[in-house]
Structure 1
Amino acid sequence: MTDPITSGASPLNVAIVGCGIIGLNHARAILRHPRLTITALVDAVPAAAHTLADTVEAESGARPAESAALTEALGAAPIDVVVICTPSGLHVDVAREAIAAGKHVVIEKPLDTDMGRAREILELSRAAERDGLVVSVISQHRFDPASRAVAEAAHSGRFGRVTSGVASVAWWRSQEYYDSGQWRGTWDLDGGGAVMNQGVHTVDLLVWFLGRPVEITAHTALLAHERVEVEDIAVATIRFESGALAVLHATTAAFPGLAVRLQVHGDRGSAVVHDDQLESFFADGDTADRASDVVPAAEVRGGDRGPDVFVTGHLRQYEDIVDAIDDRRAPGVGVEDAFVSLCVVRSVYLSATLGRPVRFEEVVAGDLDGVTVTTGVPA
């Protein structure tokens, strides 16, 4: 890892494209990194860029340039890294322009809402990497101490043969949440509901822990909201190449909203991550719970980084991205990783729509790209 203080490394100038709440959250993380400077803000709604510029100026003392489009920003300010925080269905256009301009790219999850566009981003990222650019997709929970501990144990054999996983995202989103933006709850721009928007990070961790999926069987429904195209409840079973089985549950209809819970089980150990914290950890055939040893209390919420958990998680990933740029290596989470997670989400929707199990490689290959996904019981 490169030490920016001793190496004399220069600052990296950042443009944030999309200045809503996600753009604000990214800005807060970026402002905490000593190597990153926000020089440009881009939003089709000028008021959004202006409001975020006020925040950046208040916290950093410097006001970034404000633009309505990335093309304009590229000519108005020095930019090394483009952070894409637009609605999911608009990611590819910004990614294409940023990579063509020779910029490193960070994409907020999910990768995109459309498999064809996601494949385009995947190919763009491969070309970018050959040119020495870093393209990363936000999966900040891979950098949580609890997640790292579980992944290491699962991959190193400390859990023995990994046999199963259980993942539950039991959240609540009000009707007002969906009514607050025309893009919310739409297949075109939101890309899906509880699985795509709220559950994709947990899907990503499940795949990281258990490996490559083979087959997905799922049901979805819209039960607690109106004027919404997508699901607010989904359940699925996933079979992995290793033979392990997992259950996935994601909902935005669990009032008042509960914590995300993820369990991994093997024949020599198990672990439970609850609300991003390591609740229990058994490994190496030992019946003693080693959770507090594996993740010391000082690391649980980021040590001295403050109480803002969202910012802490994103900051960890930005540290990895900056190191990847400095060290000319692949980032900890690349587009390939995000594409696999997106394929799992798409498989859930396809299985629910078609009323049958879906082979994962059918989705990866694009064999089912022509199917229009729906919410609820298949006709």
Structure 2
Amino acid sequence: MAKVGFGIIGCGNIGPVHAAAIAAVSQAKLVAVSDIVEATAQKLGGQYGAEVHTDYRKMLERKDIQAVCLCVPSGLRVEIAEACAAAGKNILSEKPLEVSTKRIDRIIAATDKAGVRLGCIFQSRFAEGSLLVKKAIEQGRFGKLVLGDAYIKWYRSPEYYASGAWRGTKKLDGGGALMNQGIHQIDLLQWFMGPVAAVTAKTTRALHAGLEVEDLATAMLEFKSGAFGVIEGSTAVWPGHPARVEVHGTEGSVYTEDGAIKFWQFKKRLASDAKIEAGLSRESELGTGAGDPLSGLKTEGHRRQIMDFAQAIQKGRAPLIDGREGRNAVALIEAIYKSAATGKTVKL
């Protein structure tokens, strides 16, 4: 079966992670890259033997590209995605898909009209620990789910925010500690616990006073199932700690750190539990973004998701995380921001 040709739009920051992941997928080939800064595009393209473009529209004219990775700042994606869809290209976007559900709905409408696939990078779902938790939930091992929590207590330096004029802006970042950093764990929490019915929240700027967005947020959740939960997110907590997601039920409790299981206990044991418990000390295969967005990040999660996306194209199926799945976390974060702004509980 022919390899799926990939192009990358946006060669800085997360672009090289996508390139490395594509190179590690046997079903995929990096054909071309595009960036408005030619030197940035030349550097990445030269590293992987890919053609270089400074105008993504020219890259979209290529017949040897079937999929495009969107790695530009969040608030710049909708128009590019619409152009990709019109050109018949399948789209795999970094998280979040865009900075608002209104703009995400434009992308979904464009890809639906064009009949192309839309995926959103949430590589934490592909971690072995995350998959084991999801399986245990589906097996009913937790009994009744009663609590689900996400804690993202990270640190970002002033230099991080100063490294790009778009960072920490409402227009291009969409939000702060939740929309940019904590969205991975917020996605996981909803994937595990189901949809949220109502949220009450507060946000502030605890350290980075010059930002337009929050660097500290707390939210109390009520899930549609009747379970409760908490989200705590920050980029003001030094030195930064592993991102943690907890799931608790009447017959079991589990928590993960950066996708790796650190606690696993159920009232009714299975033979397979021993192997999981023996691996509680292992490091996450995803790496961590606790203190730096890229230095601690591993490409394995992206590799797994890009492999799924390539296989979806080859086999004519939907990707495991499509655009509508990618929309869910943004919808919840929007509700958190609305609650914080109004001081009222917001129903979803």
Alignment match, 1:364: none
Alignment match, 2:81: 95
**SS of match in other structure, 1:117:** helix
Matched, 1:277 2:260: yes
Matched, 1:234 2:222: no
Percent of aligned pairs with the same amino acid: 36
Q: Distance in 1 between matches of 2:233 and 2:54?
A: 35
CA RMSD of superposed structures (Å):
2.3
User: Partner letter of residue 21 of structure 2?
Assistant: A
Tell me: CA distance 1:297–1:80, structure 2 relative to 1, closer, same or farther (3 Å): farther
Cα deviations by residue, 1:85-121 (Å, 9 ceiling, x for unpaired): 0000011111111111111110100010123211111
Alignment match, 1:210: 193
Alignment match, 1:4: none
Tell me: CA distance 1:287–1:72, structure 2 relative to 1, closer, same or farther (3 Å): closer
Q: Distance in 2 between matches of 1:233 and 1:293?
A: 33
What are structure 2's unaligned runs of at least 5 residues?
Answer: 287-295
TM-score (norm 1): 0.85
Listed as ranges, the matches of 1:183-332 within 5 Å are 183-283=166-266, 285-286=268-269, 290=273, 292-293=275-276, 310-332=298-320
Alignment match, 1:85: 71
Is the Cα–Cα contact under 8 Å of residues 36 and 55 in structure 2 kept in the other structure?
Answer: yes
TM-score (norm 2): 0.92
Is the Cα–Cα contact under 8 Å of residues 61 and 87 in structure 2 kept in the other structure?
Answer: no
Cα deviations by residue, 1:344-375 (Å, 9 ceiling, x for unpaired): 11111111011101111xxxxxxxxxxxxxxx
Cα deviations by residue, 1:57-102 (Å, 9 ceiling, x for unpaired): xxxxxx2221122211123562111110000001111111111111
Count of aligned residue pairs for this structure pair: 340
What are structure 1's unaligned runs of at least 5 residues?
Answer: 1-8, 57-62, 361-379
**SS of match in other structure, 1:192:** coil
Q: Distance in 1 between matches of 2:104 and 2:297?
A: 29
Deviation at 1:309, TM superposition (A): 5.6
User: Partner letter of residue 115 of structure 1?
Assistant: T
Is the Cα–Cα contact under 8 Å of residues 285 and 298 in structure 2 kept in the other structure?
Answer: no
**SS of match in other structure, 1:278:** strand
Alignment match, 1:340: 328
287-296 or 254-263: which moved more?
287-296
Structure 1 segments of 4+ aligned residues over 6 angstroms from their partners: 297-300
Matched, 1:152 2:152: no
Is the Cα–Cα contact under 8 Å of residues 33 and 53 in structure 2 kept in the other structure?
Answer: yes
Matched, 1:44 2:30: no
Larger fraction in helix = 1
Tell me: CA distance 1:274–1:212, structure 2 relative to 1, closer, same or farther (3 Å): same
Deviation at 1:223, TM superposition (A): 1.2
Matched, 1:168 2:168: no
Q: Distance in 2 between matches of 1:298 and 1:224?
A: 32
Tell me: CA distance 1:92–1:183, structure 2 relative to 1, closer, same or farther (3 Å): same
Cα deviations by residue, 1:28-49 (Å, 9 ceiling, x for unpaired): 1111111211111111111211
Matched, 1:121 2:113: no
Is the Cα–Cα contact under 8 Å of residues 149 and 294 in structure 1 kept in the other structure?
Answer: no
Is the Cα–Cα contact under 8 Å of residues 324 and 331 in structure 1 kept in the other structure?
Answer: yes
Q: Distance in 1 between matches of 2:279 and 2:313?
A: 30
Is the Cα–Cα contact under 8 Å of residues 215 and 358 in structure 1 kept in the other structure?
Answer: yes
Alignment match, 1:349: 337
Q: Distance in 2 between matches of 1:36 and 1:323?
A: 9
Tell me: CA distance 1:299–1:73, structure 2 relative to 1, closer, same or farther (3 Å): farther
Matched, 1:16 2:4: no
Cα deviations by residue, 1:245-302 (Å, 9 ceiling, x for unpaired): 1100000000011111111000011111023211121235349993733786899755
